[in-house]
Amino acid sequence: MNAKKNGNKELPKHTISIYVANKPGVLMRVAQVFARRGFNIDSLVVSESQDSRFSRMTIVSTGDAETLEQIIKQVSKLVDVLHAKDHSGEDVIEREYALFKVETPTEKRTEVLQIVEHFKGQTLDFGEDYLLIGISGATEKIDASFELFKKYGILEVVRSGKMLMARGREET
């Protein structure tokens, strides 16, 4: 589940948390380290941290572990980066939020609402033939709801990308 097929090789997915100085250009610098080594960024969340001078990035990327080690070192080396950590395989809290606009003819509405309820989602907008649904949870949960909504026809989906926080007192 946590891997992407690439040719014959199974390439693992990584979740990396980066703590950076909140300065213009820092996102470009970080993104360049990935792009130069041919790593695609699957998702990226950036926002201000508890201290407005710093921002938190959570990046999900796919690729071989050795190149990733190099990427993390190169990212850590950037002057504006305080630290970068690969949290893959660690017991951390991961969350994602997704908005779905699902095709919902009147006769299917109950079915769709049952799915929303099952995933503890919210109905955010209600139309004659569609529903706008918000669901939060681990990426796997969002993936599962995505699969179920597909059956009815997904008009649009917007996903926040994965966010992550280390458990206990450990720094993310």
Partner 1 sequence: METKSLSGAEVLIECLKEQNVEYIWGIPGGVTIPIYDALVDSGIKLILVRHEQGAMHAAEGYARATGRPGVVCVTSGPGATNTVTGLLNAYMDSAPVIVITGQTVTSMLGKDAFQEGDIFGMTLPVVKHSYLVKDANDLPRVMKEAFYIAQTGRPGPVHIDIPKDVATSPCTVPLNAEMDLPGYKPRDLEDFDREEVERIAGALRRSKRPVLYVGHGAVISNACSELMKLATTLHAPVVNTLLGKGAFPEDHELSLGMFGMHGTVYANKAVSECDLIFSIGGRWDDRITGKLSEFCVDAVKIHIDIDPAEINKIIRPDYYVIGDAKHVLRELNKHISRLDTDDWWRKIEKWRNKFPLKCSKKGGLKVPYIVDTLYRLTKGEAIIVTDVGQHQMWTAQFYKVHKNRSWISSGGAGTMGFGFPAALGAQFGRPNELVVAIVGDGGFQMTMSELATMMNNNLPVKIIVMENRYLGMVRQWQELFFDNRLSGVDLTGNPNFALIAKAYGCKSFRIRRNADVERTLKEAIEYKGPCLIWAELIKEDNVFPMVPAGAPLSKMIISPPKSAPTEIAAKPAKRRRKPRSEEK
Q: Does 70 bind partner 1 (CB under 8 A)?
A: yes
Structure tokens at 138: 């681990």
Count of residues engaged in binding partner 1, rule: CB under 8 A: 22
**Residue 62 CB, nearest approach to partner 1 (Å):** 20
Element (H, E) at 151: none
Window contacting partner 1 (CB under 8 A); options: 69-77, 102-110, 113-121, 134-142: 69-77
Q: Does 64 bind partner 1 (CB under 8 A)?
A: no
Residues 6+ apart with CB under 8 A from 74: 33
Q: Does 13 bind partner 1 (CB under 8 A)?
A: no
**Residue 51 CB, nearest approach to partner 1 (Å):** 10
Q: Residue from 82, 124, 138, 158 that binds partner 1 (CB under 8 A)?
A: 82
SS3 7: coil
Cβ–Cβ under 8 Å, residues 161 and 44: yes
Instruction: Give the integer Cα–Cα distance in Å for 32 and 26.
Output: 10
Q: Does 77 bind partner 1 (CB under 8 A)?
A: yes
Residues 6+ apart with CB under 8 A from 50: none
Residue 59 or 112: which CB sits closer to partner 1?
59
The burial class, CB within 10 Å (0-12 / 13-18 / 19+), for 76 is: middle
Q: Does 36 bind partner 1 (CB under 8 A)?
A: yes
Binding site for partner 1 (CB under 8 A): 20-21, 24-25, 28-29, 32, 36, 53-54, 66, 69-70, 73-74, 76-82
